Amino acid sequence: MRRSRKDGDSVDEERDSRRRRIVDSPSSPAEEPLVPYNDDEDDERRVLDHSGGAEEVGRRVETEEEDDDDDDDDDPYGRGSILDKSNRQVEVRRDCPYLDTVNRQVLDFDFEKFCSVSLSNLNVYACLVCGKYYQGRGKKSHAYTHSLEAGHHVYINLRTEKVYCLPDGYEINDPSLDDIRYVLNPRFSREQVEQLDKNKQWSRALDGSDYLPGMVGLNNIQKTDFVNVTIQSLMRVTPLRNFFLIPENYQHCRSQLVHRFGELTRKIWHARNFKGQVSPHEFLQAVMKASKKWFRIGVQSEPVEFMSWLLNTLHTDLRISKKSSSIIDKCFQGELEVVKETQNKAISERKEGGGEHNGALKIMDGATENNNIGTETYRMPFLMLGLDLPEPPLFKDVMEKNIIPQVPLFNILKKFDGETVTTTVRPPARMRYRVTRLPQYLIVHMRRFTKNNFFREKNPTLVNFPVKNLELKDYIPLPAPTKENEKLRSKYDLIANIVHDGKPDEGFYRVFVQRKSEELWYEMQDLHVSETLPQMVALSEAYMQIYEQQQ
């Protein structure tokens, strides 16, 4: 009995000692705390590489992501040795037996780079056989699974532009795939950019159709014609286009809108596209996010509102500091002198109390007060000028049709001669405007739409304007040049004319643009691009125009 008790006590002591060891020992792999995922670092790497960062950074990030994919299979706890990662290399081959399965007809890189299964935008590959997007290339990734299920073996990394064969996992280095890389990420040298306006050569798409670089149609996704005409108009502004064709000019900027606008510009002017049109889907997604869904797919908006918002947002995102300028300022910014006359309530109250007599003139802080009217003079910058159209007649003629009036452009430009008074209702004031500095590119907007309490009306007045040699100094007073040898540049040529057709809420927009290499005019409405005569440009209901200053 004593021996059995001693044996029982020794067993209990062993159990207690084992429990103490387990408690004192370090935690098991399953109990280790999870390492927090730092999303900011990955986003920063992706933006750096996307905006033209060093190739070494891109390679390092890619190998880390790929190693993560592979390590998920071999090491479920993610504790693989760093030595194995650094020594792991991807085999590179010049020949691949599956290159003949690549189908360029189905490749479309205009849409967002998201995996079609996981909807993730990290480490996304495009299948060059069916055109779908899949994430990763490790043994548990969606691209690897697709290669086994569908028998599609050639994939391209949408960020690093490297091509791989799955499930074998080797990299393909074949120059025959360079045309796909150029379509995925078009590139321009500074010499090519300078020669764009001299190029008269047509390009041919895969389906055999011919297209002009820079004159390609834009896909109307759903009521996005107001975006298409704005983009097509801005593509005629040479300094703006040249700036966005070279990504190094804005690689410091982190705005998605700026980079998406640059990508769209390069795709429109690219001469090696697989098809003769471009879809602005990625740019529209960036617009919806940046405008907080003020402009969105499926809802019609006005081009003047979108143009104003886009130019101001690009300017804000591009400038380095608050006082610095941007390419938007250099192209479009002019200056106005504004004289504002308002009824002064304080003076009228003092007059009623017998304080001051009529005709008293008082000057304070650059403003004058005379006969109950306060006058304030100040200068303000502008990106576009809004022109008021005369009211259309209310009654019909003998033929039971409304008379469509016509007005010369010079008549409505008198608003900015410094003498014509414009009355505002809220707040009640009398305004006089005078142009003190002309921009290199002048944007003019005709206010055709008015909204009252019941419905939206459209003014059908036709504006007669010259296509070439618009001389402003003959109609509005302009300031003398500041430098002695400098000439006053007041002659402008039309380069883009946006037109609205149809009813106010049911109509559509189209645009006439000029091709500088041959001085030909083209009419563009979404995907339709056709050559037209300069006389046809002046016969339309102009809504917004861009004029270029003659050098």
Domain end marker among 147, 182, 217: 182
- The pLDDT score that the predictor gives to residue 100 is 92
Same domain? 235 vs 269: yes
CA distance 61 to 57: 6
Q: Measured over all CA atoms, what is the biggest interatomic distance in the chain, rounded to whole angstroms?
A: 131
Domain end marker among 278, 307, 336: 307
Same domain? 92 vs 171: yes
The answer to whether residue 242 is domain-embedded is yes
The answer to whether residue 426 is domain-embedded is no
The answer to whether residue 9 is domain-embedded is no
Average pLDDT along the chain:
78
CB contact set of 9 (below 8 Å; sequence gap of 6+): none
Domain end marker among 307, 327, 359: 307
Same domain? 206 vs 287: yes
CA distance 533 to 331: 27
The answer to whether residue 400 is domain-embedded is no
The answer to whether residue 546 is domain-embedded is no
Structure tokens at 266: 């390069």
In DSSP terms, 163 is beta-bridged to 156, 172
Same domain? 298 vs 230: yes
Q: How far is Cα of residue 315 from the mean position of the Cα atoms in its chain?
A: 12
Same domain? 124 vs 65: yes
The answer to whether residue 201 is domain-embedded is yes
Same domain? 207 vs 264: yes
**Helical H segments across 388-485, by residue range:** 409-413
Domain span including residue 99:
42-77+86-182
Q: Is 151 helix (H, G, I), strand (E, B) or coil?
A: coil
- Under-70 pLDDT residues of the chain: 1-88, 345-371, 395-402, 481-486
pLDDT in tens, 261-312: 999 999 999 988 888 888 898 899 999 999 988 888 888 888 999 999 999 9
Same domain? 199 vs 233: yes
- The pLDDT score that the predictor gives to residue 483 is 65
Structure tokens at 170: 């080797």
CA distance 15 to 372: 101
- The pLDDT score that the predictor gives to residue 39 is 38
CATH assignment at residue 289: 3.90.70.10
- The pLDDT score that the predictor gives to residue 18 is 54
- The pLDDT score that the predictor gives to residue 210 is 87
Query: Could you give phi then psi for residue 21, rounded to 5 degrees?
Result: -60, -45
Q: How would you class 280 by CB atoms within 10 Å of its CB: exposed for 0-12, middle for 13-18, buried for 19 or more? A: buried
Q: Percent helix, strand, coil in the chain (nearest 5)? A: 35, 25, 40
The answer to whether residue 202 is domain-embedded is yes
Residue 174 one-letter amino acid: D
Same domain? 222 vs 150: no
The answer to whether residue 337 is domain-embedded is no
Q: How far is Cα of residue 353 from the mean position of the Cα atoms in its chain?
A: 58
Same domain? 136 vs 66: yes
Contacts by 165-173 with C-beta closer than 8 Å and gap 24+?
Answer: 165/93, 165/96, 165/98, 166/137, 167/139, 169/90, 169/91, 169/137, 170/90, 170/91, 170/92, 170/93, 171/90, 171/91, 171/92, 171/93, 172/92, 172/93, 172/94, 172/96, 172/99, 173/92, 173/93, 173/94
Same domain? 133 vs 195: no
Q: How many domains does the chain have?
A: 2
Residue that has been written with the tokens 């799955």 in this structure: 166
CATH assignment at residue 150: 3.30.40.10
Same domain? 202 vs 177: no
- The pLDDT score that the predictor gives to residue 397 is 61
Same domain? 212 vs 283: yes
